[in-house]
Structure 1
Amino acid sequence: MVIIPLLLTWIITLYSNGTSTVNLNTTLTGEFITLQLPVQPQSYMMVLVNGSVTAYMINGTSIVIPVLGTANVTITYVPKIFVENNFIGMDVGNTTVEIIIPNNILIANITLSLMGMKMINNELVIMAKGPGEFLYTVMPISTTQSSTSRASAHMHYYEFLTIIMIIAIIVIVAPISYALIMRRGRRTEETSTSITALNLSDYEMSILKYLGSKGGSAFEIDISRDLGIPRTTVWRSVRRLENLGLVRITKVEGKNMVTLVRNK
């Protein structure tokens, strides 16, 4: 018997330098599972089954993974892109994806079916379904810009993004307006130099509290399971906490152990 989640969502993360990754974290049941890839991989793919690196087979636009029972499966790879009129493009197959967009990435065109959007940690997250494609470019950020000019640039960027979304297949007016208002409001709070300038998300605060309740350390996979947070979100949140000096990450028996350094 093969059990695949009804809504299998792949995460496409765009980075501020224009690069990108595709990630999936889910639980599967079966012997050899075949999954449809959202985007063709550029080269090597990292496939983990219960935290261990596992061999796989590519069959056209699909990947075959030996699960051999019930296991947590994580897939990470660099997607194949194309360049069109100086824009970076990505073809998405017949899958559901979340596209995470930092504030200096401009979406120039998108033909995917839009399902929703939200703001997470000052990043725009678009839920969409293929097939289709999207084009984007990197907007340069000057370190000498004043607060007023930065706010103006962000306003124009999201006004342009709104126009693009209206032309797309599914128009979601209300979430766009909400996202724009929340994004501009949060930009005005970045001048604080107090301890609250860490701007920890609800996910990050929950992880810190969880570590404290577990004596100061726990595996990433246990954090995801006990808090009900997707593995991808836990991975991103833990590494931000590590960069802030709040936690330390070590490898224990092939799994990531997160240890509390200090609690803010």
Structure 2
Amino acid sequence: MFWVITLFANGTVLLLFNATLVATVANISLPAPPASVPEVRLDGIPVPALIVNNSLLVPTGGQGVVTVRYVPRLGEADNLLYFNITTSDLFAIWVQRGVIAVPKLRIINYTMLNGDLLIVAKGPGVLAYAKPALPVATQSAGTPRPTTTQSGGLFPSLTAPSATTSSTSLNNIATTAVTTSTSVPLTQPTTSSPVLSETLTTHQVDHTAQELTPFLLVAVAVAASALGFALYRKARMAPSATQLSEVDSKILAYLHKRGGAYEAQIARELSLPRTTVHRAVRRLAEQGLIKIEKRDGKNWLEPTGSS
């Protein structure tokens, strides 16, 4: 399965699944334990679902576009938020600007998109991240705003007495840290409430779906290119599907020589069992090398391209 994980600049996380499923009851394995009941839609309409052993059972009535959105259960270690990914699914991780992502997953590809970071990775593993600090809402008029040149100025939760100590803290979670660009200040609302919610409400989830649409398309394109390259390499190493066996070649050569023949006639003149000829004829027909016609209740065979 293919999931999109979004690390928002306000510190919230959203997991999104959207695919057409053909099943009376779809069984969707959740990659991370949910913090609350996931939102499930079938063809855009909310439907009930049942969670059994970290799997989501969705009644589809045979076929439909299933959309699942939920917030995972988070833990905290070394001033980082994290959650475990237990499945081997493919993930497109959208890291918004200002968030430090620490994925302990198998990274397949990554790219920058409008200042955000898009990572294609494969589970299982752990995804940790550092939430950027919120700007101060108000400040007294007579006090000048202090400036800092410290590299982690946007992330005071990760700041330690020295840069070396902060780096060691990150390495306790994962071996490689992926950071987005912090050269541009974060834009945060400075009105009524300076503190943003840690969880997404239903209204926020609906608004988030509209924001995710272009990034979901890009994520699918990046993942498809990576998978396509892997399948291309596998196809080059695999034997050709159109390689004919000795019996198939013998029957095909006989038909080209005669221009056509009945199936029973081929078995008799080539001294082959009827069942062997029947299976070979089906293989040749599936590959488009011969045509089968019914004449007087018998199978008449002709090579493709013959008049």
TM-score category of the 2 structures, normalised to the smaller one:
0.5 to 0.7
Which of 124, 134, 145 does residue 127 from structure 2 map onto?
A: 134
Return 5+ residue gaps in structure 2 as ranges: 137-144, 155-166, 185-206, 215-307
Q: Does 1:110 align with 2:103?
A: yes
Residue 142 of structure 1 and its aligned partner are, at CA, apart by: 5.4
CA 1:145–1:116 in structure 2 vs 1: closer, same or farther (change >3 Å)?
Answer: farther
CA 1:91–1:237 in structure 2 vs 1: closer, same or farther (change >3 Å)?
Answer: closer
1: CA distance, partners of 2:213 / 2:120: 23
Residue 36 of structure 1 and its aligned partner are, at CA, apart by: 1.2
Q: Does 1:11 align with 2:9?
A: no
Q: Is the 8 A contact 2:34 2:72 kept in 1?
A: yes
Q: Does 1:45 align with 2:20?
A: no
Identify the structure with the greater strand proportion: 1
Alignment-derived partner of residue 271 in structure 2: none
Mapping of residues 53-68 of structure 1, within 5 Å: 53-68=46-61
Deviations 1:23-49 (A, max 9, x none): 111111110010111111111211000
Which of 83, 95, 102 does residue 101 from structure 1 map onto?
A: 95
Alignment-derived partner of residue 30 in structure 1: 23
Deviations 1:53-106 (A, max 9, x none): 101111112111111122111111111111112210110122221111112111
2: CA distance, partners of 1:141 / 1:233: 20
Q: What SS does structure 2 have at the residue aligned with 1:103?
A: coil
CA 1:234–1:40 in structure 2 vs 1: closer, same or farther (change >3 Å)?
Answer: closer
Residue 110 of structure 1 and its aligned partner are, at CA, apart by: 2.6
Mapping of residues 1-264 of structure 1, within 5 Å: 8-94=1-87, 95-107=89-101, 109-140=102-133, 167-168=175-176, 235-236=210-211
Alignment-derived partner of residue 197 in structure 1: none
2: CA distance, partners of 1:110 / 1:237: 20
1: CA distance, partners of 2:107 / 2:63: 32
Q: What SS does structure 2 have at the residue aligned with 1:12?
A: strand
CA 1:13–1:234 in structure 2 vs 1: closer, same or farther (change >3 Å)?
Answer: closer
TM-score between both structures, scaled by the size of structure 1 = 0.54
Alignment-derived partner of residue 236 in structure 2: none
Return 5+ residue gaps in structure 1 as ranges: 1-7, 155-159, 188-231, 240-264
1: CA distance, partners of 2:86 / 2:213: 30
Q: What SS does structure 1 have at the residue aligned with 2:210?
A: helix
Task: State the superposition RMSD in angstroms.
Answer: 3.8
1: CA distance, partners of 2:146 / 2:97: 15
Residue 151 of structure 1 and its aligned partner are, at CA, apart by: 10
Deviations 1:204-229 (A, max 9, x none): xxxxxxxxxxxxxxxxxxxxxxxxxx
TM-score between both structures, scaled by the size of structure 2 = 0.47
Residue 18 of structure 1 and its aligned partner are, at CA, apart by: 1.1
Q: Is the 8 A contact 1:56 1:65 kept in 2?
A: yes
Alignment-derived partner of residue 258 in structure 1: none
Number of equivalenced pairs = 171
Q: Is the 8 A contact 1:47 1:53 kept in 2?
A: yes
Residue 141 of structure 1 and its aligned partner are, at CA, apart by: 6.3
1: CA distance, partners of 2:149 / 2:135: 10
Residue 120 of structure 1 and its aligned partner are, at CA, apart by: 2.5
Q: Is the 8 A contact 2:4 2:94 kept in 1?
A: yes
1: CA distance, partners of 2:123 / 2:27: 18
1: CA distance, partners of 2:15 / 2:31: 8
Deviations 1:221-247 (A, max 9, x none): xxxxxxxxxxx99721679xxxxxxxx
Q: Is the 8 A contact 1:104 1:140 kept in 2?
A: no
Task: Percent identity, please.
Answer: 24
